[in-house]
């Protein structure tokens, strides 16, 4: 296989070693600062349309196993690494990272200066890029990049949402978070019913809801409010997902209608942004986004600091929300951006970070406890 070539929109050309599929891809390049959990990151649907640059220096040593998928397949467009492990050594591994990516048509490049690229993205902001592992000339890759429209204003959710509604039948993550997934005899009828709008949901969100004793029904992103309410939910969750919320006017309108139902609502990441738009707020693009498992967030009422997992390129502007209706609950200690909010006097809350983590710290799991308290 020929050398891999990565070309950025400013014309910068990076050469390295190819792995994964023989392919060419164009994408938005972002960096992720997590030290562990590369498989969970690569299967997070929020990365659709993006290539992930890992800042950790060595990737691939524990291989890939089906238990840690956050969706059915890798969702990224490309992978950029400093060093790829030549072996996978873990008793749970069923395949290697290069073999897994190759099977799903995703190219990767290693042996590149990821510190240089990360600093470049921090200084100049997120960039469009193209990667080829099949010998595409750099000039051709640059044409691909400059002809690609990017993610702003596009609906990326339709590529990752479920095709039809389904009941979550996976495990309830009790071995991770200490909750019991075993309901007492006769309790199934009393179990709270969560309807989750799938904008690209991670499986660990569903596990957490199930671990709180709930029945979980996942519905496609385009499901009308009337159809969701016909399922007789006790609460609604607006999931994470990829891209720009401005490209989802149908979802914003659905959230507006759901707000009229009086049901408890929890928004996570993209779901948080959609809630902000439904409340009349505005969303802006961050310079290089938040991607990693080490982001400090402050609880504004207690002053406590959570270390959180995050993955987003857009954020809600708090000054555009009606303070008489919306209370800011959490703020980023890195850049001051809005990380959490709730409606005053109503069972509606949302967070920009990922309380389910996977991969990441468990500091924020209490979000699910707080949300479920609305059902008591």
pLDDT digits (tens, 9 = 90+) for 220-242: 999 999 999 999 999 999 999 99
Q: 299 pLDDT exceeds 70? A: yes
Please state, rounded to an integer, the average pLDDT across all residues of the chain. 93
Joined tokens for residue 88: 């996978």
Residue 269 among the catalytic residues:
yes
Contact present, 216 and 209 (Cβ < 8 Å) = yes
Q: Which of 27, 29, 47 is nearest to 160 (CA)?
A: 47
Residue 356 falls in the annotated catalytic set:
yes
If you average pLDDT over residues 106-132, what whole number do you get?
A: 97
Would residue 65 be called left, alpha or beta, if left means φ above 0 and alpha means ψ between -120 and 50 degrees? Answer: beta
Block residue for tokens 């910068």? 12
Check 28, 70, 77, 356 and give the catalytic one: 356
Which of 28, 225, 269, 372 does the annotation list as catalytic? 269
Catalytic residue among 212, 312, 330, 354, which? 354
Q: What is this structure's pTM?
A: 0.94
Compute the distance between CA of residue 177 and CA of residue 24 in angstroms, rounded to an integer: 40
The CA-CA-CA angle for residues 201, 206, 207, to 5°, reads 135
The helix/strand/coil state of 117 is: helix
Calpha distance 103→143 (Å, rounded)? 27
Whether the CB-CB separation of 238 and 274 falls below 8 Å is answered with yes
Indicate the pLDDT class of residue 187, thresholds 50, 70 and 90: very low
Considering the domain delimited by 4-147, tell me its CATH architecture. 3-Layer(bba) Sandwich (3.50)
Q: Which CATH class is domain 157-373?
A: alpha beta
The answer to whether residue 176 scores a pLDDT higher than 90 is no
For the segment 82-109, the average pLDDT, to the nearest whole number, is 96
Instruction: Give the E-state strand segments of 21-90 in sequence order.
Output: 24-32, 50-54, 58-59, 78-80, 83-84
What gap in Å lies between CA 158 and CA 100, rounded to an integer? 24
Domain boundaries, the chain: 4-147, 157-373
| pLDDT for the residue numbered 376 | 80
Helix (H) or strand (E) holding 265, with range, is: strand 265-268
Q: Which residue has the tokens 């939910």?
A: 233
Helix (H) or strand (E) holding 40: helix 38-42
Separation in Å, CA 341 to CA 270, 318, 348: 13, 9, 9
Among 201, 205, 212, 203, smallest CA distance to 174 is for 212
- Of the CA atoms within 13 Å of residue 109, those in its CB half-sphere come to 31
Is 183 a residue whose pLDDT tops 50? no
Q: Contact 40/359 with Cβ under 8 angstroms?
A: yes
Q: Which residues contact 6 (CB under 8 A, 6 or more apart)?
A: 13, 14, 15, 16, 80, 109, 112, 129, 130, 131
User: What pLDDT score was predicted for residue 177?
Assistant: 53
Please say if 327 is a catalytic residue: no
């Amino acid at each position: 296989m020929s050398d891999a070539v990565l070309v950025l929109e400013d014309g910068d050309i990076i050469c390295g070693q190819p792995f994964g599929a023989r392919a060419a891809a164009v994408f938005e390049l972002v960096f992720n600062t997590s030290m562990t959990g590369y498989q969970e990151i690569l299967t997070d649907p929020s990365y659709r349309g993006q290539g992930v640059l890992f800042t950790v220096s060595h990737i691939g040593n524990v291989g890939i196993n089906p238990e840690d998928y956050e969706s059915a397949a890798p969702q990224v467009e490309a992978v950029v690494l400093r060093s790829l492990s030549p072996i996978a050594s873990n008793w749970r591994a069923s395949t290697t990272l290069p073999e897994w990516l190759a099977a799903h048509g995703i190219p990767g490049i290693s042996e590149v200066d990821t510190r240089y690229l990360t600093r470049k993205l921090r200084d100049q902001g997120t960039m469009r890029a193209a990667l080829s592992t099949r010998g595409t000339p750099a000039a051709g890759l640059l044409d691909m990049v400059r002809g690609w429209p990017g993610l702003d204003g596009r609906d990326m959710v339709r590529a990752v949402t479920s095709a039809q509604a389904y009941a979550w039948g996976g495990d309830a993550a009790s071995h991770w978070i200490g909750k019991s997934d075993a309901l007492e005899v006769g309790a199934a009828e009393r179990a709270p019913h969560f309807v989750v709008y799938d904008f690209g949901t991670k499986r660990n969100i569903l596990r957490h809801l199930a671990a709180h004793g709930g029945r979980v029904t996942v519905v496609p992103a385009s499901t009308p409010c009337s159809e969701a309410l016909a399922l007789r939910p006790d609460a609604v969750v607006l999931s994470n997902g990829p891209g720009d919320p401005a490209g989802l006017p149908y979802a914003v309108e659905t959230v507006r209608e759901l707000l009229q139902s009086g049901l408890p609502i929890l928004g996570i990441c993209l779901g948080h942004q959609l809630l902000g738009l439904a409340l009349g707020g505005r969303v802006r693009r961050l310079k290089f986004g938040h991607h990693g498992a080490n982001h400090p967030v402050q609880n504004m009422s207690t002053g406590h600091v959570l270390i959180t997992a995050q993955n987003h390129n857009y954020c809600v502007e708090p000054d555009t929300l009606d303070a008489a209706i919306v209370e800011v609950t959490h703020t980023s200690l890195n850049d001051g951006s809005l990380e959490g909010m709730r409606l005053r006097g109503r069972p509606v809350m949302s967070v920009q970070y990922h309380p389910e983590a996977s991969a990441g710290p468990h500091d924020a799991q209490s979000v699910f406890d707080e949300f479920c308290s609305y059902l008591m």
